[in-house]
Amino acid sequence: MDPRNKVAIVTGGASGLGGATVRALVARGAKVAILDKAKAPGEALAKELGAAAIFVETDVTSEAQVQAAVDRAKAELGGLHIAVGCAGIGTAGRVVGKGGLFPLELFQLTVNVNLIGMFNMMRIAAGAMAENAPDAGSERGVIITTASIAAFDGQIGQVAYSASKAGVVGMTLPVARELARFGVRVVTIAPGTFDTPMLANLPQEARAALAAGIPFPSRLGQPAEFAALAVHIVENAMLNGETIRLDGALRMPPK
């Protein structure tokens, strides 16, 4: 699908991987609705991008808020053709730790945001895309979700995060198979260790250690590299039903 003159939503779009994706899509000629709970950075990014972007304060776990955001994108930008899910949280804790058992409510929160919130975006976006007229390649839309390599080699302490991201991977193929009849593709990106706000508060020594563990390139991934892959997925019609690791050949050790 050619992004030019298409309309996209990006959840978690105010910063990090989502913010870079918003910028990349706008650079390719798309109009983008930035969906995020972070109001100030979301509004600042929309202001920076001008008429090509709007900000909609959105909690991805809310059916009403995501539906309202999609409705605004359709009404103010002219439709919905691309949806990229980058909203998520990182949590950590051992199942049986020094302070006791892993809190059940923290596990539920992680799954609710990372998995159920992603599905909420997917289903509402898919419903809107199914109403589109097909383009020259018979496509009506593209949905990109974000998992993590923790879905495959989660470390000790990542039980909730890994489970939530494995669920995102598990949705990819069945949803792609179902939406094929509408001409809507579904692809997941599983990033490795990226330089995002989630890692920004780590000490420099810890950041350097994470970078050193990546075979090549031995550095943290850049959000622009995630965004470049997202744009390529939009443009490459044969990418469908797949999860793509974007990790510099990193395979995470147990801890």
Average pLDDT, the chain: 96
- Write down the catalytic residue from 55, 107, 161, 182: 161
Instruction: State the pLDDT confidence band at 200, using cuts at 50, 70 and 90.
Output: confident
- Could you tell me the CA-to-CA distances from 151 to 160, 161, 237 in Å, in that order? 10, 8, 25
Query: Sorting pLDDT into bands at 50, 70 and 90, what band is 209?
Result: confident
Q: Can you give 210-234 as a three-state secondary structure string?
A: HHHCCCCCCCCECHHHHHHHHHHHH
Q: Is there a catalytic annotation at residue 161?
A: yes
Domains observed in the chain:
7-192+223-246 (3.40.50.720)
Sign (positive or negative) of CA dihedral 105, 153, 241, 198: positive
pLDDT range class, residue 241, cuts 50, 70, 90: very high
Mean pLDDT over 112-116 rounds to 98
Q: What is the pLDDT of residue 255?
A: 86
With a CB cutoff of 8 Å and minimum separation 6, the contacts of 54 are: 32, 33, 34, 46, 72, 73, 76, 77
pLDDT at 58: 98
Q: What is the pLDDT of residues 61-107, one digit of tens each?
A: 999 999 999 999 999 999 999 999 999 999 999 999 999 999 999 99
Task: Determine the average pLDDT of the residues in 234-241.
Answer: 98
What does the pLDDT read at residue 203?
A: 76
- pLDDT for the residue numbered 205: 81
- pTM for this structure? 0.96
What would the mean pLDDT of 247-255 be, rounded to a whole number?
A: 92
Tell me the pLDDT band of 57, cut-offs 50, 70 and 90: very high
Does the pLDDT of residue 204 top 90, yes or no?
A: no
Give mean pLDDT, residues 161-167. 98
pLDDT at 1: 96
Q: Rounded distance, CA 66 to CA 87, Å? A: 12
Q: 184 forms bridges with which residues in the sheet?
A: 141
